[in-house]
Chains A and B, each alone.
Chain A
């Protein structure tokens, strides 16, 4: 079945630097790729998404890129701030329009 791999599992960056989280997926029929942010004790919250007909999407300090040929997509956060510290999940839609989730990346912003 569909599989989504996410790397790294933990990422520590200095405040103000950039952070990049990468995911690969296996199902070539996947056409929707969201990123969710989960703060401690809360449910995941959608922060950005991209569809397969687009290669890149940007929203202020957050951007997502998609390479359909290589079956990978990435989350880029620039000028990181303390409030960016959280667990980030990538996901990919399967043929049943359900989401298959990555295992998550714990992002730590060092002051």
Chain B
């Protein structure tokens, strides 16, 4: 199993550009989440999905969209990049019946917005 994979590993965007961060998992997990990690702030939940076709907002959803057309894939879209979205983004999945439990994280995407 590859686990949770994320692409790209690094990305630089100009303000106003859009892009999609890819996330895929091969563990047949129902629950998937996107977090951003900023220095001194821990991880903050952006959006999550409890199964294909179902998504919901987390703590910091503004400026981001998600969709879940398959169990395996959970892309995160930045609609119009802003410098405040400079961060490291992590995708996670979980097989349990709760978002909280036993999450498996991808290696992250480091995004810089200039």
Contact = CB atoms under 8 A, between A and B. Distances in A.
A25 interface: no
Contacts of A43: 4, 90, 92, 105-108
Interface stretch (B40-48, B64-72, B73-81): B40-48
B interface majority secondary structure: loop
Interface residues of B, number: 22
A44 to B, nearest CB: 5
B45 A99 contact: yes
B58 interface: yes
B101 A103 contact: no
Contact of A97 (B4, B44, B98): B98
Contact of A98 (B4, B40, B41, B45): B45
A42 interface: yes
A101 B42 contact: yes
B59 to A, nearest CB: 8
Contact of B105 (A6, A9, A44, A101): A44
B41 A103 contact: yes
B47 to A, nearest CB: 11
Contacts of A49: 101-102
Nearest to B103: A46
Interface string A4-43: 1010010000000000000000000000101000000111
Contacts of A96: 99
B12 interface: no
A42 B105 CA distance: 9
B2 interface: no
B22 to A, nearest CB: 15
A6 B90 CA distance: 21
Interface of A: 4, 6, 9, 32, 34, 41-46, 49, 89, 91, 93, 96-99, 101-104
